[in-house]
Structure 1
Amino acid sequence: MQDHYTFAQPGIQRLVFKLKELVRRIDEPVSKHIEEQGLEFLQFAFRWFNCLLIREIPFHLVTRLWDTYLAEGDALPDFLVYIFASFLLTWSDKLQKLDFQEMVMFLQHLPTHAWTHQELEMVLSRAYMWHSMFNNCPSHLAS
Structure 2
Amino acid sequence: MSRKRTENDTESAAATPHGSVDRFGFLKQEHASSPERFSKARTASSTDHDREERKVRKWRKMIGVGGSDWKHYVRRKPNVVKRRIRKGIPDCLRGLVWQLISGSRDLLLMNPGVYEQLVIYETSASELDIIRDISRTFPSHVFFQKRHGPGQRSLYNVLKAYSVYDRDVGYVQGMGFIAGLLLLYMSEEDAFWLLVALLKGAVHAPMEGLYHAGLPLVQQYLFQLESLVKELIPKLGEHFTQEMINPSMYASQWFITVFSYSFPFPLALRIWDVFLSEGVKIVFKVGLALLKYCQDELVKLPFEKLIHALKTFPEDAMNPDTLLPLAYPIKVSKRLEELRVDYEKTIAKRVQP
Shorter-chain TM-score range: 0.7 to 0.9
TM-score by length of 1: 0.80
TM-score by length of 2: 0.35
Trace 1:1-143 onto structure 2 (pairs within 5 A). 1-72=207-278, 76-112=279-315, 115-125=318-328, 128-131=329-332, 134-135=334-335, 138=338
- Shift of the alpha carbon at 1:89? 1.9
- Shift of the alpha carbon at 1:115? 3.8
Q: Give RMSD over aligned pairs.
A: 2.4
Amino acid at match of 2:237: S
Percent identity (aligned): 23
Amino acid at match of 1:9: L
Measure the CA separation in 2 of the matches of 1:26 and 1:120. 16
Gaps of 5+ in 1: none
What SS does the corresponding residue of 2:212 show, helix, strand or coil?
A: coil
Amino acid at match of 1:40: N
Point out the structure with max Rg over C-alpha: 2
Measure the CA separation in 2 of the matches of 1:114 and 1:95. 13
Determine if contact 2:294/2:317 at 8 Å carries over to the other structure.
no
Between 1 and 2, higher relative CO (CA 8 Å, sep ≥ 6) is seen in 1
**What is the number of equivalent residue pairs in this alignment?**
135
The alpha-carbon distance between structure 1 residues 136 and 116, as it changes in their structure 2 partners (threshold 3 A), is closer
Determine if contact 2:258/2:272 at 8 Å carries over to the other structure.
no
Measure the CA separation in 2 of the matches of 1:138 and 1:82. 16
The alpha-carbon distance between structure 1 residues 61 and 100, as it changes in their structure 2 partners (threshold 3 A), is same
Measure the CA separation in 2 of the matches of 1:30 and 1:130. 19
List per-residue Cα deviations over 1:91-118 (Å, max 9, x = no partner): 1111100000010011121223784331
Measure the CA separation in 2 of the matches of 1:121 and 1:77. 15
Determine if contact 1:44/1:107 at 8 Å carries over to the other structure.
yes
- Shift of the alpha carbon at 1:83? 2.7
Measure the CA separation in 1 of the matches of 2:310 and 2:220. 20
Gaps of 5+ in 2: 1-206, 343-353
Runs of 4+ in 1 over 6 A off after TM superposition: none
What SS does the corresponding residue of 2:332 show, helix, strand or coil?
A: helix
